[in-house]
Amino acid sequence: MTLIRSHTAPRKPTPRFACLVSTAAVLLALAGAPVAADEGVVEGAVEGAVDTSVSPFEKDDVDRAVDRAIDFLLRQQKDNGAIHDRGHDTTMTSLSLMAMASVGIQPSDPDRKGKAMARALDFVLSEQQQEKDGYFGKKDGSRMYGHGITTLMLTEMLGMGATEEQDQRIHQRCQKGIDLILSAQKVGKSVNAQGGWRYTPGSSDSDLSASVWQLMALRSAKNDGLQVPADAIEQAVEYLKRSYSAPLDRNGLPRTDKPGGFCYEPGKRHASFTMTAAGLLAMQVCGEYESPLVQGAADYLLARPPKWNERFCLYGTYYYAQGMYQRGGDHSATARQFVQKLLLEKQEGDGSWLASRGEERNVGKVYCTSMAVLSLSVKYHYLPIYQK
């Protein structure tokens, strides 16, 4: 379902109990390293899964964990409104804003959470955070990963500003960010890399990790009615398809019935958990719900859920939770139970999460906590980009 929104009228999410069932890419930008393929297969049902049969009118373990996580994020807010703990202030603030919005908090809310969110938005919207060409990834060093995250956040916040003036600034900054994404896609590239993005606006190659953030920002912006040519999204989807691990025939169908996944770059044949989860969500966000590539990726992930000690666990879990929810049925139910069990066990006493592996651990608790909240937010699904 395509959700059309106006950027002039705030969206009012339904209360938490009325909902049935809604990034680590920054660390890849910092490390400049591809996502490693995971190994091992987990079979069978999830043991000790969280009981989801509680009354929808009462807070359950997930609600309480999310409340504690949001309180942690709010305690990290600086005097200038930014929310971060280890740098990359624009991108970390944007991830925090997405996390808060994903559980129903709005900048227009009169309580302390809403006011904190409005201050955080003002920080991201300040002129010094965005270059004249629209680029968000230079000042805080997050490159195109951070640019895609921040632009996606702004497209999701259109119409949700605390004031009309703030809404106008969201619209202006957002369109400039989208224009930068579109111009970066047009840079001359090899056939395999066409339609995608990589580390900087002028990159002449592409990778799936950077591309997914830009694609989701474009899809969300198009839903908002911003200026996004249809062929830009079509070219990005074709790039996604070239990143599938199984060879495709002339009709774009896999040449094997074995479940396949997505790879960091086109032409590879070794899928990874993280890239498969990212590709699954991106394909569905673009309306490719019944694609055999989507079916293959979902089946691949059903047998390979996230493991806490693997590289980029929180990054992959975010895409896994959202992508499997979109798939529905057994894929959604199994993933939701698995994600809840995994994350609830790993939440720290202060309400935060901190990954066990260096690449994510070094980015900090604000990043890890925001990604965990976004993973758990499938219970609420307030953010339109993640709605079916």
Mean pLDDT of the chain: 87
Please enumerate in sequence order all residues whose Cβ is within 8 A of that of 230, keeping only pairs 6 or more positions apart, or say none: 222
> Residue 51 has what pLDDT?
53
HEC string for 218-287? HHHHHHHCCCCCHHHHHHHHHHHHHCECCCECCCCCECCCCCCCECCCCCCCCCCHHHHHHHHHHHHHCC
Cβ proximity of 374 and 99 under 8 Å: yes
In-domain check, residue 43:
no
Residue 13 lies in a domain: no
pLDDT of residue 53: 55
- Output the CA–CA distances (angstroms, integers) from residue 88 to 147, 339, 366, in the order listed: 11, 27, 11
- The yes-or-no verdict on residue 43 having pLDDT over 90 is no
Of 20, 112, 21, nearest to 70 by C-alpha is 112
Whether residue 364 is predicted with pLDDT greater than 80 in this model: the reply is: yes
Long-range contacts of 50-53 (CB under 8 A, 24+ apart): 50/337, 50/340, 50/341, 50/344, 52/336, 52/337, 52/340
Asked, for residue 66, whether it belongs to a domain, the answer is yes
The parent domain of residue 301 ranges over 23-36+58-386
C-alpha dist (Å) from residue 325 to 38, 262, 378? 21, 18, 7
pLDDT at 29 over 70: no
pLDDT of residue 20: 24
Decide if 4 is inside a domain: no
The answer to whether residue 22 scores a pLDDT higher than 80 is no
Asked whether residue 42 is domain-assigned, the answer is no
Residue 15 lies in a domain: no
The 10s digit of each residue's pLDDT in 256-313 is 777 799 999 998 878 999 999 999 999 999 999 999 999 999 999 999 999 999 999 9
- If one counts the domains in the chain, the total is 1
* Structural domain contains residue 79: yes
Q: Say whether pLDDT at 46 is over 70.
A: no
With a cut of 70, say whether residue 2 has pLDDT above it.
Answer: no
- pTM for the structure as a whole: 0.86
Is pLDDT of 39 > 80? no
pLDDT category at 54 given cuts 50, 70, 90 is low
CATH of the domain at 104: 1.50.10.20
Q: What per-residue confidence (pLDDT) applies to 242?
A: 94
Query: For residue range 167-222, what is the model confidence (pLDDT) as tens digits?
Result: 999 999 999 999 999 999 999 999 999 999 999 999 999 999 999 999 999 999 99
pLDDT at 7 over 70: no
Q: What percent of the chain has pLDDT over 90?
A: 77
Lowest mean pLDDT among 54-63, 68-77, 240-249: 54-63
Does 64 score more than 50 pLDDT?
Answer: yes
Q: For residue 259, what pLDDT is reported?
A: 76
| Assigned domain for 283 exists | yes
